[in-house]
Amino acid sequence: MNRFDYVKPATVAEAIAAAGAPGAAYLASGTNLLDLMKGNVVQPARLVDITQIKELTRIERLGNGDVRIGALVRNADLACDASFARDFPAVAEALLSGASAQLRNAATVGGNLLQRTRCAYFYDTASACNKRIPGSGCDARDGENSQHAVLGWSAACIATNPSDFCVPLAALDAVVEIAGASGRREVALEALHLLPGTTPERETVLAPGEMIVAVRLPAAARAFARHARYLKVRERNSYAFAVVSAAAGLVIENGSIKQARLALGGVAAKPWRAHDAEALLAGQTSDARVFEQAADAALRDAKPSGDNAYKIPLARQLIARALQAAAQGTPSRMPALPASPFSSVPGVLHDA
Ligand SMILES: Cc1cc2nc3c(=O)[nH]c(=O)nc-3n(C[C@H](O)[C@H](O)[C@H](O)COP(=O)(O)OP(=O)(O)OC[C@H]3O[C@@H](n4cnc5c(N)ncnc54)[C@H](O)[C@@H]3O)c2cc1C
Ligand code: SF4
């Protein structure tokens, strides 16, 4: 076990000051970070435990209609906040499709956004991994890579981002509030994570010592509440990361799509917003042929990085199905198996 300092600040300012030390890492619930430390994958010199910072625990409705979610709000608490789930149903569905009930009770909003890839070679310190040790190579390239990326990957790294939560957040133009030694700033969720390029060790735009304090969903994202779904294909129907997932939101008037939102999970090192597909959908009638064309547009640049060519037709089917399910209307109640493409859903909240 590596030796490390442990501090437990009470305010954001104290946390940022404590995280200025070299090798410091923020600790939220530790469901990812502590596993990585136990496996010697990461060796922080100091843990800055942020769990006592009260201002990070709130869900706030702002005067302009935005919803601001503190970085320490638990995944389960957010998904089960009735008003939040009504306004942003695909986000609630994505949260409830992640991990297990126990993990969702512990996992935090900020930790979910910054969880590390599940590439097995990243977790195995006997393997070469450019993300863990820059320049060491990538054993996934010639290894077991059936779950790896089909979009945005590079010769240096083919890992995917494992978060479900981030996928509808990217689709709905969520904003991440960041605090650091030089003050506060904001970035679009879509711009938070970086593609690997030649520096896969750089996973986000956060500078050393910066912390996430909140995520904001804009008031305008409520427009998609009537027609929103998150669908996730996994190797078993619960307690598994996405092989491929899709968040779809539509605004439909008289059978015509006024606005569309689409993002994919499990396909790249970041949640993948499908802007071309959204543009193609706007103004079209809501039917299966249009949804297939949108899926083709979303996957135009997809290419296998190994034994994962199957992911491309799978993603195509899932996108079309998520758009179809969204068009049918948001379920009146959360499906018994959230995000499962195989479960039947109770009623619809609104007619298409
Ligand atoms: C068995 C298992 C199955 C899982 N299945 C899924 C799944 O299906 N879908 C899914 O989406 N997730 C899944 N997860 C991942 C889980 O959702 C994450 O581990 C969890 O969300 C991380 O939250 P945490 O509060 O425990 O973060 P921590 O483990 O405390 O932190 C994670 C990372 O974020 C950093 N961090 C935390 N908070 C902040 C902050 N506010 N500012 C800056 N940095 C911060 C930490 O330094 C660390 O690098 C699974 C996890 C496990 C163990
Ligand atoms: S795919 Fe990325 S995370 Fe996995 S071994 Fe290669 S460099 Fe490491």
What domains are defined for the chain? Answer: 55-114+161-220 (3.30.465.10), 222-328 (3.30.390.50)
Task: Specify the pairing of strand 175-180 against strand 183-188.
Answer: antiparallel
Residue 290 one-letter amino acid: V
pTM confidence score: 0.98
Residue 268 one-letter amino acid: A
Query: Is the CA virtual torsion 253, 265, 269, 137 positive or negative?
Result: negative
Two tokens at 109? 């909003």
Going by C-alpha positions, the residue among 303, 299, 313, 312 that lies closest to residue 158 is 303
Percent of the chain at pLDDT above 70? 99
Ligand 1 pocket test: pick from 8, 73, 96, 114 the residue with the most ligand atoms within 8 Å of its Cβ: 114
Query: Which ligand sits closest to the CA of 155?
Result: 2
Q: Is 333 left (phi over 0), alpha (psi -120 to 50) or beta?
A: beta
Please tell me what DSSP assigns to residue 27. Answer: E
Q: How many Å from the N-terminal Cα to the C-terminal Cα in the chain?
A: 57
Half-sphere exposure of 252 toward its Cβ, with a 13 Å CA cutoff? 25
Task: Specify the pairing of strand 228-233 against strand 59-61.
Answer: unpaired
Contacts of 336 (CB under 8 A, 6+ apart): 343
Task: Report whether 7 contacts 47 (CB < 8 A).
Answer: yes
Return the ligand 1 atom nearest residue 42 CA. 49
Give pLDDT, residue 351. 44
Task: Specify the pairing of strand 211-217 against strand 175-180.
Answer: antiparallel
Distance CA 249, CA 252 (A): 10
| DSSP secondary structure, 250-286, as one string | EEEETTEEEEEEEEEESSSSS-EE-HHHHHHHTTSB-
Task: Report whether 46 contacts 24 (CB < 8 A).
Answer: yes
Give tens-digit pLDDT for 102-155: 999 999 999 999 999 999 999 999 999 999 999 999 999 999 999 999 999 999
Please tell me what DSSP assigns to residue 117. Answer: P
Answer yes or no: is pLDDT of 350 > 80: no
Q: What angle do CA 230, 76, 50 make, to 5 degrees?
A: 120
Task: Report whether 65 contacts 87 (CB < 8 A).
Answer: no
User: What is the residue-averaged pLDDT of the chain?
Assistant: 96
Give tens-digit pLDDT for 54-93: 999 999 999 999 999 999 999 999 999 999 999 999 999 9
Query: Which ligand sits closest to the CA of 160?
Result: 2
Return the ligand 1 atom nearest residue 112 CA. 21
Whose Cα sits closest to atom 2 in ligand 2? 157
The pLDDT-based confidence of 195 (bands split at 50, 70, 90) is very high
What distance in angstroms lies between residue 152's CA and the mean position of ligand 2's atoms? 14
Task: Report whether 204 contacts 188 (CB < 8 A).
Answer: no
Give tens-digit pLDDT for 245-283: 999 999 999 999 999 999 999 999 999 999 999 999 999
